[in-house]
Structure 1
Amino acid sequence: MWPDAPELERPRILRQQWLDLTFLHWALDPAEVAHFFPPGTCPDTFEGRTYVGLVPFRMTDTGFPHGPAVPVLGSFLEMNIRLYSVDESGCRGVVFLSLDADRLAVVAAARTIFGLPYRWAQMTHTQVADQHTYTSVLRRPGVHAASTITVEIGSPVASDPLTDFLTARWGLHTHRARRTWYLPNHHPVWTFRAATVSTLEIGSLFASVGLTEPTRPPDHVLHSPGVPATFALPIRI
């Protein structure tokens, strides 16, 4: 059984709501992506394979642990490309190759404060009944990365060992100021619904972060209505 979220140390520094998430994953040979990982970490594996994830969603209610959310800037759209890490102590996390968001001020703040690879993009999310559509066009001169993803949401589904491996992650690994850091978070257990991809146009999105573009449909697709999340101070690895 996958371990539950560890108790989050104090002080808490940030809270968010992650909503309307679609998780799309492709299995990879760990050797293909090992060079992306910060020092002291390596690709985490499930039955000998690691995974790359593409996750579009809505972010809301961003703010300090107590009090109101940040006006306007506290809500935005995001789509990230992520890998799965484990460090020398056995702590599992996520390594982000990109985090595209439609608020320029959010992009600037996250890059400056946390050193995360946020990028400014023009994005939309629409829902019609059980159909969710996410679009994104990167706003970066000289780099073309556009995507359209549509999924049809089905019935609730139970988690399984692979789903736990991909989604029960309680922090992220990043490299900043010549150090590797772990930024821990805590959130309730996910609830999931089955999802079927009806449109998947990702163009050169993966190439924009140095990955080979997928040539097959995702190996694993799920949708979640979302969870609230809280972050604590980064820990030096």
Structure 2
Amino acid sequence: MLDLPLLPTPPPVPDAVPLSARLALRERPAGAPLLRQQWSELLFLHWPVPAELLQAHLPPRLQADTLQGQAWIGIVPFEMSKVRTRYTPPVRGTHEFLELNVRTYVHLDGVPGVWFFSLDATSALAVWVARTFFHLPYLRADMRLDQPSPELRQFAATRTHGGAPPATFRATWKLGAPMPPSEPGSLEFFLTERYCLYASNKDQSKLYHGRVAHAPWPLRAAQVLHLESDLLEGHGLPTPTGKPVVHAGGPVQVELWPMQRV
């Protein structure tokens, strides 16, 4: 029997952002928020993607956020309700609607956040407000969320925004048991505990940063029974391979602060 030398164990790949910086963003920002709303019936669908591939689709100053060297891309349908500003009561046409976003995770100078490739919504007024005042790539779409049973959800979306790439999404999922709170440093924490967002103007010459505050996500296990989507391909992103990492979430009460140029 040959006595082969033991190969050294490769060192772990460091995360893009230290855990302390992620935890710091859980602290509620000072001052009054601009918007308050509720997010519910979320389905988090995530696929791993090479960070270098993702980087080519980001504004120059943003860097892909990674966990143990791995970047992720996600599709998240959900219901938004109780939307109001700090100055006004809920406005009909904007206070309750469905949303579907395509997102990834980034950081700027070590501050982690969410980058949205697109955000489809059923409210034309909400789309106009978000595009005008938050610099976010909102698009109009027809959507429907059904609940055939207490544990089943069905979500369907067809983009209707003029000039935007066509896109459709269909998903059926079954809710499972509640999950324990996400452990800091875990994949669940990395994918769902996000407390700021980034946006840019059309030519990506200006970059904006906004803060978000809410309680840690109450997550549930979920099983996807049916999934059809061409959302990622419409952004020139690779077609996902393999099954997604799936979580269900909500409801949470959310506060949002004004976007600031960075």
Q: TM-score, normalised by structure 2?
A: 0.84
Note if contact 1:44-1:86 (Cα within 8 Å) is conserved in structure 2.
yes
Q: Would you say the 8 A contact 2:157–2:169 is kept in 1?
A: yes
AA of the residue aligned to 2:169: S
Distance in 2, Cα, partners of 1:217 & 1:200:
10
Aligned partner of 1:16: which letter? Q
Structure 1 unaligned regions, length at least 5: none
If asked which structure has higher relative contact order (CA below 8 Å, sep 6+), I would say 1
Q: Is the counterpart of residue 205 in structure 1 residue 231 in structure 2?
A: yes
- The more displaced of 97-106 and 171-180 is 171-180
* Higher strand proportion (structure 1 or 2): 1
1:125-174 deviation per Cα after TM superposition (whole angstroms, max 9, x unaligned)? 01121011110001145733111111100101122411111111111011
Distance 1:24 1:198 in 2: 13
Change (3 A) 1:66 1:130: farther
1:169 aligned to 185, 194, 201, which one? Answer: 194
Question: 2:15 maps to which residue?
Answer: none
Give the Cα separation in 2 of the matches to 1:46 and 1:223: 21
Q: Distance in 2 between matches of 1:139 and 1:60?
A: 21
Q: Does the 8 A contact of 2:38 with 2:82 survive in 1?
A: yes
Q: Does 1:41 align with 2:68?
A: no
Map of 1:14 onto structure 2 = 35
**Corresponding position: 1:53 with 2:74:** yes
CA contact (8 A) 1:23 1:223 kept: yes
Question: 2: distance between equivalents of 1:67 and 1:111?
Answer: 20
Asked if 1:231 corresponds to 2:231, the answer is no
What are the ranges of 5 or more consecutive residues in structure 2 without an aligned counterpart?
A: 1-18
Query: How many Å separate the matches in 1 of 2:137 and 2:236?
Result: 13
Going from structure 1 to structure 2, the CA distance change for 1:141 and 1:230 (only over 3 Å counts) comes to: closer
Counterpart residue type for residue 120 of structure 1: R
Letter in 2 for 1:212: P
- Partner of 1:155 in structure 2? 177
Contact kept, 8 Å, 1:9 with 1:232, in 2: the verdict is: no
Deviations 1:106-127 (A, max 9, x none): 1122111111111111100011
Is the deviation greater in 129-138 or in 170-179? 170-179
Rounded Cα–Cα distance in structure 2 between residues aligned with 1:69 and 1:232: 17
Deviations 1:72-125 (A, max 9, x none): 32110000000101111x111000000000111211221111111111111000
Match of 2:220 in 1: 193
Render the CA deviation track for 1:180-215: whole Å, top value 9, x for unaligned: 11110100111111000000111x221112212213
Distance in 2, Cα, partners of 1:206 & 1:188: 29
How many residues of Structure 1 are paired with residues of Structure 2 in the alignment?
Answer: 234
- Higher Rg of the two aligned structures: 2
Does the aligned pair in 1 maintain the 2:83–2:96 contact within 8 Å? Answer: yes
Name the counterpart of 1:145.
Answer: 167
CA distance in structure 1 between the aligned counterparts of 2:157 and 2:217, rounded to whole angstroms = 25
Q: Counterparts of 1:140 and 1:118 in 2: how far apart (Å)?
A: 9
Query: Is the Cα contact below 8 Å between 1:65 and 1:230 reproduced in 2?
Result: no
- Alignment correspondent of 1:70: 91
CA contact (8 A) 2:135 2:200 kept: yes
Q: Determine what percentage of the aligned residue pairs are the same residue.
A: 32
Letter in 1 for 2:27: P
User: 2:162, 2:31 → 1: CA distance?
Assistant: 41
**Partners in 2 of 1:17 and 1:136 — Cα distance?**
20
Distance 1:63 1:39 in 2: 33
Q: Larger deviation: 156-165 or 188-197? A: 156-165
